[in-house]
Amino acid sequence: MRNTIATLAALLALTAPAHAADDAIAQPALRPSITVTADVVRVGDLVDNAGPAAQIPVYRSPDLGTTGALPVAQVINVLRAKQVIGVMTGDIKEVTVTRLARTLANKDLELAVASALEHRFGLGEAANIGITFDRGISELRLDATNTGALQPTATRYDQRSGRFDVTFEISNEASAAPAKLRFTGTAIETVEVAVLTRDIDRTEMLKSSDVVPERRPKAEISGEAATRDRAVGMQLRRPMRAGTPIRVADLAKPELVQRDQSVTVIYQAAGLYLTTRAKAIDSGAEGDVVNVLNVLSKRTLTGVVTGRGQITIQAAPAALPNDRTSSLQREPAPVALAQTQLSPAPAKSE
């Protein structure tokens, strides 16, 4: 009997005219657009000033994160079937219903799993753990009331196969029971490494176009992986094929001087700069000390590689008494001696 009285009271409230004696009762009016979080649409979602009839369910909500449209005539018929009448519609032609959702993108789920495995089971940083789910997941939609963070409650990982099984709980503001999510798949620790774009010979210097950064399984790289910045401008210690990842141990400073190569020898001293041609006896990179043969004097000289095909010999300053320094510095003999040692003048013919 009480339920019948309550229903009659609700209907009277919805059907009362706007100019009724009781001005406190506002005219119920249809809303043109609504958003819901529950899986059902109720009278109170569709109608302003629905009163006690607000909790009556009338429609199933759209799928999570989607929007549906309802013709006004259809809405009014459904309301009448629920004994809800006298609703003002104005010039509304349709009612749009949007169901709110919490969307978790694939990258968010990958990060959550990687974070659950971080620094565990022999794995490193989460940013270096590549995750592949057994079932392809572009995104996951949950009820909007699931507002909590993904908290791992069970984590299993097989180091030999790389298989993982992780369960998460998400607190729900509308329910005491948290939502549960379970994911399985493969987790592999990766490392960024420079990879060759073409076959490279040992004597070639690596250019920026010769290498690209890629992420490869850490187990594939035996030793420290070389980054792209570190590889460019270096040489390989051995010929390598395109697609091969480069380790730091594979790199060497470029040899600017090759054995048996014709090189320029620069002799520098105070007030003196001489050059001559010579033949390299050794190969060397920048800063290496190598021997060269002066092709004219047949003498072996030792210098430092300072450029491509270039050797520099720095003369040590002579220790001179203070009182004779000025006069000795003016003598041309050291210049003539140095020049003769590097480039002896040919003998005059009789």
Tell me the domains of the chain and their CATH numbers.
Answer: 2-99 (2.60.480), 103-189 (no CATH), 191-254 (3.90.1210.10), 256-318 (2.30.30.760)
Instruction: Provide the whole-model pTM.
Output: 0.62
| Token output for 249 | 């141990």
For residue 251, how many C-alpha atoms fall within 13 Å in the half-sphere facing its CB? Answer: 24
User: What is the average pLDDT across 260-277?
Assistant: 88
Residue 342 has pLDDT above 60, yes or no: no
Pairing outcome for strands 300-307 and 289-294: antiparallel
User: What is the average pLDDT across 226-245?
Assistant: 94
Task: Say how many C-beta atoms besides its own lie within 10 A of residue 23's C-beta.
Answer: 8
Residue 254 has pLDDT above 80, yes or no: yes
What mean pLDDT, rounded, does the chain reach?
84
pLDDT tens figures, 312-327: 998 776 555 554 444 4
Range name among 1-10, 34-43, 110-119 with the lowest pLDDT average: 1-10
Q: How far apart are the first and last CA of the chain?
A: 145
Question: CB under 8 Å to 232, separation ≥6 — which residues?
Answer: 206, 207, 208, 210, 211
| Token output for 165 | 């099984």
pLDDT tens figures, 19-59: 444 445 678 999 999 999 999 999 999 999 988 899 999 99
**What pLDDT is recorded for position 319?**
56
pLDDT tens figures, 291-302: 999 888 889 989
**What pLDDT is recorded for position 322?**
56
Place of tokens 């990879």: 195
pLDDT tens figures, 129-179: 999 999 888 899 999 999 999 999 999 999 999 999 999 999 998 887 899
